[in-house]
């Protein structure tokens, strides 16, 4: 009797599954097949893989595979940072840097006091990327303001005030092999030239022989070095690793540059970016016949109470900063936003306050906070964790906000731009759209974003791969197929 009843229950359950679940199975078969292909790949036998697809239009979870496993998402953490920036700072927000002075100006134009550069966390201050943000443009504006105030000589110093951000420039979980390179430079209250410098190498004519340093830019920065870089094969790219700390001028160069490419450019983390800004501006003023009597300094523990503002310099709007952050996966931009959130919400821009600010943002969205661990703003730390389901739930929540369009447009468009310009190249079905943020570090490949299907349905999705021994380039064709299945739908 009991066995018969059990069999009837099983038959009823199966019939119900076929009646109500058959269409769901058919809908997800393409996705399931591609996930099976990835998970059965011998190269990924020991990897951890999480996949989640949520249909925003229909308001339901569509597919999951190990979606509740905490994993390292790498640069997908920038999604949380930039979204919180849209909500707490607003699309029109601009970082502000002030040029000011302490003391007084005599009738004959002598400033008895210090020039003060008060940082506001702007990641583009003095950036080489745009003419309007360049060091020359910035210094010219500041010099004009000084002349307008009648100052012709400074009986004092140029001081760099970076105190809007407190604590350390680097997170203590970032890896030693990262922090001397441009992508591991970290953010300060007074960023300058994207906290980065360029070192130019001339390779030898023979592989394995030393590559000499030709020059460094910006000219005049305080960087010393020990160079162990050699000449690698032609077209081998940048294989240089730079070691060094934020406050020390010594840099150690290891690795190779390619044969046959003279003046090969490598990017490093700039030592003491705020102080470097003050030093180079002092030199600039002296070249303009404005004498500055003392050496530049960044030894400012707090902003002076009494100062006179000469010039207020504003960054591009936040929407542009956020777009560049996600399009190019720029760590400095992300960490500057992150720390500014800590400053805005809790009056000091350090890592602890920034974590509190982003956690508050996520918690207020009624997300499962046991499924995420925020450590930094860029995802450079391996301590940052989240589940695949957390990302799709988060992205679905963002789709209901008034800043969704700006946030979505900050993500690279598959096959067209940013870090995904080579994904699904010319392979997206007609009438579809896919925006994807990627995250990559050793052993980690991650993808998350939005897709619009041929039938008009909008979905959020995430793919997390951890502990993979095959590189991101080897994994990419498999991910391409899965992304194609996600955007195709039925």
DSSP assignments along 72-139, one per residue: --GGGHHHHHHHHHHHHT-TT---EEEEEE-SEE-TTSEEES-EEEE----TTTB-SSSGGGBHHHHH
Average pLDDT, the chain: 92
Residue 465 has pLDDT above 60, yes or no: yes
pLDDT attached to residue 424:
75
Confidence of residue 345 (pLDDT cuts 50, 70, 90): very high
If one counts every other C-beta atom within 10 angstroms of the C-beta of residue 279, the result is: 20
If one counts every other C-beta atom within 10 angstroms of the C-beta of residue 19, the result is: 9
Over the Cα atoms of the chain, what is R_g?
Answer: 26
Confidence of residue 416 (pLDDT cuts 50, 70, 90): confident
3-class state of residue 216 by DSSP: strand
Residue 248 has pLDDT above 70, yes or no: yes
Task: Output the pTM of the full model.
Answer: 0.92
pLDDT attached to residue 216:
97
Per-residue pLDDT reduced to its tens digit, 54-85: 999 999 999 999 999 999 999 999 999 999 99
- Stretch 233-260: mean pLDDT, rounded? 97
- Stretch 419-426: mean pLDDT, rounded? 75
Lookup: tokens for 489: 């739908």
pLDDT attached to residue 321:
98
- At which residue do the structure tokens 């964790």 appear? 385
41-45, 109-113, 191-195, 404-408: which range is least confident on average? 41-45
Residue 108 has pLDDT above 70, yes or no: yes
| Ranges of H-type helices in 168-288 | 176-179, 273-287
11-15, 351-355, 360-364: which range is least confident on average? 11-15
- Stretch 163-184: mean pLDDT, rounded? 96
Residue 10 has pLDDT above 60, yes or no: no
Residue 4 has pLDDT above 60, yes or no: no
- Stretch 375-379: mean pLDDT, rounded? 98
Q: Write out the H or E segment, with its range, that includes residue 309.
A: strand 308-314
Residue 427 has pLDDT above 80, yes or no: no
pLDDT attached to residue 426:
66
Task: Report the distance separating Cα 399 and Cα 404, nearest Å.
Answer: 5
Portion of the chain with pLDDT greater than 90, in percent: 84
pLDDT attached to residue 13:
43
């Amino acid at each position: 009797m009991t066995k018969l009843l059990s069999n009837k229950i099983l038959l009823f359950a199966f019939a119900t599954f076929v009646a109500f679940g058959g269409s769901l199975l058919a809908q997800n078969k393409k996705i399931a097949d591609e996930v099976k292909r990835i998970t059965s790949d011998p190269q990924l036998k020991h990897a951890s893989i999480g996949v989640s697809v949520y249909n925003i239009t229909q308001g339901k979870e569509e597919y999951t595979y190990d979606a509740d496993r905490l994993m390292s998402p790498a640069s997908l953490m920038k999604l949380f940072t930039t979204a919180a920036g849209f909500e707490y700072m607003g699309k029109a927000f601009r970082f502000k840097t002030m040029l000011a002075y302490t003391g007084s100006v005599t009738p004959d134009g002598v400033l008895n006091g210090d020039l003060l550069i008060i940082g506001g966390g702007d990641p583009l201050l003095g950036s080489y990327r745009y003419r309007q943000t360049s060091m020359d443009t910035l210094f010219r504006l500041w010099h004009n303001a000084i002349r307008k105030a009648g100052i012709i000589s400074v009986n004092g110093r140029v001081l760099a005030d970076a105190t809007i951000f407190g604590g350390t420039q680097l997170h203590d979980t970032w890896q030693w092999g990262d922090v001397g390179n441009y992508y591991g430079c970290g953010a300060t209250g007074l960023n300058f030239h994207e906290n980065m410098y360029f070192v130019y190498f001339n390779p030898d004519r023979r592989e394995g022989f030393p590559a000499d340093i030709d020059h460094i830019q910006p000219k005049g920065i305080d960087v010393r070095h020990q160079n162990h870089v050699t000449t690698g094969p032609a077209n081998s790219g940048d294989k240089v690793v730079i070691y060094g700390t934020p406050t020390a001028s010594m840099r150690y160069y290891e690795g190779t540059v390619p044969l046959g490419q003279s003046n090969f450019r490598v990017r490093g983390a700039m030592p003491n970016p705020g102080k470097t800004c003050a030093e180079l501006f002092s030199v600039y003023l002296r070249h303009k016949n404005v004498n500055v009597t003392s050496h530049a300094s960044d030894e400012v523990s707090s902003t002076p109470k009494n100062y006179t503002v000469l010039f207020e310099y504003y960054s591009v709007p936040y929407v542009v900063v956020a777009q560049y952050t996600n399009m190019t996966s720029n760590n400095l931009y992300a960490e500057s936003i992150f720390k500014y959130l800590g400053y805005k919400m809790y009056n000091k821009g350090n890592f602890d306050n920034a974590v509190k600010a982003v956690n508050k943002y996520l918690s207020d969205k009624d997300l499962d906070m046991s499924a995420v661990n925020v450590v930094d703003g860029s995802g450079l730390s391996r301590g940052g964790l989240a589940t695949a389901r957390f990302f799709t739930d988060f992205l679905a929540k963002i789709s209901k906000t008034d800043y969704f369009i700006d946030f979505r447009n900050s993500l690279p468009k598959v096959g067209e731009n940013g870090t995904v310009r080579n994904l699904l190249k010319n392979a997206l079905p007609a009438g579809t759209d896919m925006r994807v943020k990627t995250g990559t570090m050793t052993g980690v490949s991650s993808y998350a974003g939005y897709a619009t299907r041929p039938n008009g349905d909008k979905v959020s999705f995430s793919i997390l791969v951890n502990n993979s021994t095959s590189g991101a380039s080897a994994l990419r064709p498999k991910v391409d197929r899965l992304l194609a299945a996600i955007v195709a739908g039925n």
